[in-house]
Structure 1
């Protein structure tokens, strides 16, 4: 069964599945007959489809999840990854392919052996995070600023330290925000984390990415003592890109929801935490 956050995408039932398979077949046909290149040529100032395919091939070959697979399955998985990334790029030539999409697609290839279903789920995810990959990345910069602002509102001393060491630009949050912590969270935990994210997002009324920014801010605040000992922005970046402890998805999302649902010093609304499986608040500074 599809997760709750994908059920609307597949609400068409059997007819919807047939439509998804037909669309995938059509996209693959466009790649084979050359019409995909014409779609990309219509995007002003955009890349050629040939350049996009080259980048997809290079990134897919470096995909972290594939390296853990047995050798006899790796090539088949690589072919699926490339095929679906190319199909999605043809579906949305204005964004095409960007680094990071490989990370977002990999979990669905693991969960769904059917290519059409994997593409359906990936497309539903991309509909939510498409702005992360738009040219100019203004949405990403806004989320980075929001993560830093949430730290400032919740912990003035920590924020002053980030300013002092040159980390107030929020660059340390970039990768976590771009691929929704996919590189930081193990595969068994990433889909539950994403489901909690969007369930809590719906309850919190956050449609602009603030909850993900809050989750990243909550992670950094959870390592407050460690960060206060840092003397450079690079150390904060290293903390976020190479996590010293595994992230506990439910605990992290409880804290993130609380940051958005309350003013400082106020306890978050319990109803907004229900989707994260919690009854009580967590301590203010606890590793995730």
Structure 2
């Protein structure tokens, strides 16, 4: 109970209190302001844009990671001869610290000698500069690619474990009844692992909502506000603008958005688990 109070209850009470007061980094809870912080946050274009961007980013990254992770897990399951070495290599991105991943992909996307720029110049006649992280349209996709590369192995691990945990008697009975290939996978294997896939998607979605390290290292929220995800906006508001009250308000708004987005998925996961 003490651990729960320290790690959960106290931060929640602090954030809720700061959101309804005028709070700075050095002087929290100066004056009760009611809903003024919420009104200012909802009227701010940066906050609205950040929440919308964070939601779209999280959903897109979660879908990409789940699809790629599921396909990779199925490929590993169908070719177990690949051995532990291949599976270990595929899981390495998840072990690398996010800051290192951000630096790595910053080098890859660098317009001066980066891997992507070198490949574009080598295989295409285009001779211009292709700076992904400096482009307002492509910067978020660059961060998303690094995010997908880092966390897709988590989906692979979860789905691959579910595939290995199937009841072999059910699969054998289906084969005896004539189910083979795609039909066997669609009607027997996929329903058996659907709950795990949905749970992996939910976990990946929550992780994507919390992305901060990659944005901090790769783009610092720019160019402009094209990668200003909520976590980075909260950090910038609290530790650069010293406005803890507004940062706490954005945190609570983000919690509401995350709840609204993830609650239907949580219900789907629970239903699939009970099937």
TM over 0.5: no
TM-score (norm 2): 0.25
Higher helix share: 2
TM-score (norm 1): 0.25
